[in-house]
């Protein structure tokens, strides 16, 4: 495992280039979000997605959520939603809010499903990284059945053999996970309550 601070990464085009190459070859990262650290791979990489589940110690076939930074990245992911719908959520984002949209075609991270859960994270430094490195899978970093991790030292101790690069943003805030909403339904359906206060009535 290589460990690099997110500040050093965000100020080095050379490091970002190396990271993109790694991701294209199925690399696996740990990245700091506004809640916990995430296990991150290229959402289009079958090998990278497989490694996410190997690291977690499970593979239940469920899709992986994806972290993104720009509207253009949503389009490249194949998100199929009307402009006014996207405008609504971009009026809320960035926030610990994960939204399920329809896809034009499945990708590796969607595991064959025609929908994808995406989030524009509230963590500014992570958004800077995503804008240059590209969208990344964003499932919580933990072994199956264990709580998600917010401490980079603990991550290095537990996952040093599975993760290629630990992007160190210090200890994250932890707390509740992101709220998940299904925007393929009308009205949108709350799938999981979390850090973002979603109205229930």
Each domain of the chain, given as residue ranges in start order, spans 2-192
- What confidence tens digit (pLDDT) does each residue in 57-94 have? 988 889 999 999 999 999 999 999 999 999 999 999 99
Average pLDDT of 7-28?
97
Note the pTM of the prediction, 2 decimals.
0.96
**CATH of span 2-192:** 3.90.870.10
CB 94 within 8 A of CB 122: yes
Q: What is the pLDDT of residues 124-146, one digit of tens each?
A: 999 999 999 999 999 999 998 89
Asked if residue 36 has pLDDT above 90, the reply is yes
Residue 196 banded pLDDT, cuts 50, 70, 90: very high
Q: What is the mean pLDDT of residues 173-194?
A: 94
Mean pLDDT of 172-183: 94
Which whole number is the average pLDDT over 165-177?
A: 95
């Amino acid at each position: 495992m290589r460990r690099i601070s997110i500040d050093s990464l965000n100020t080095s085009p050379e490091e970002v280039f190396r990271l993109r190459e790694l991701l294209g070859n199925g690399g696996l990262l740990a990245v700091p979000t506004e809640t916990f650290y995430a296990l991150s791979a290229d959402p289009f990489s079958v090998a990278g997605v497989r490694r996410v589940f190997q690291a977690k110690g499970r593979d239940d076939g469920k899709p992986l959520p994806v972290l993104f930074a720009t509207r253009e990245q949503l389009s490249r992911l194949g998100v199929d939603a009307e402009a006014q719908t996207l405008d609504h959520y971009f009026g809320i984002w960035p926030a610990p809010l994960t939204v399920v949209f329809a896809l034009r075609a499945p990708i590796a991270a969607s595991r064959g499903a025609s929908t994808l859960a995406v989030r524009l994270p509230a963590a500014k430094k992570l958004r800077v990284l995503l804008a240059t490195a590209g969208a990344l899978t964003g499932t919580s970093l933990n072994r199956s059945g264990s709580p998600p991790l917010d401490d980079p030292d603990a991550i290095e101790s537990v996952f040093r053999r599975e993760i290629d690069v630990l992007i160190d943003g210090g200890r994250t805030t932890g707390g509740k996970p992101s709220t998940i909403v299904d925007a393929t339904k009308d009205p949108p359906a709350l799938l999981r309550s979390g850090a973002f206060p979603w109205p229930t009535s």
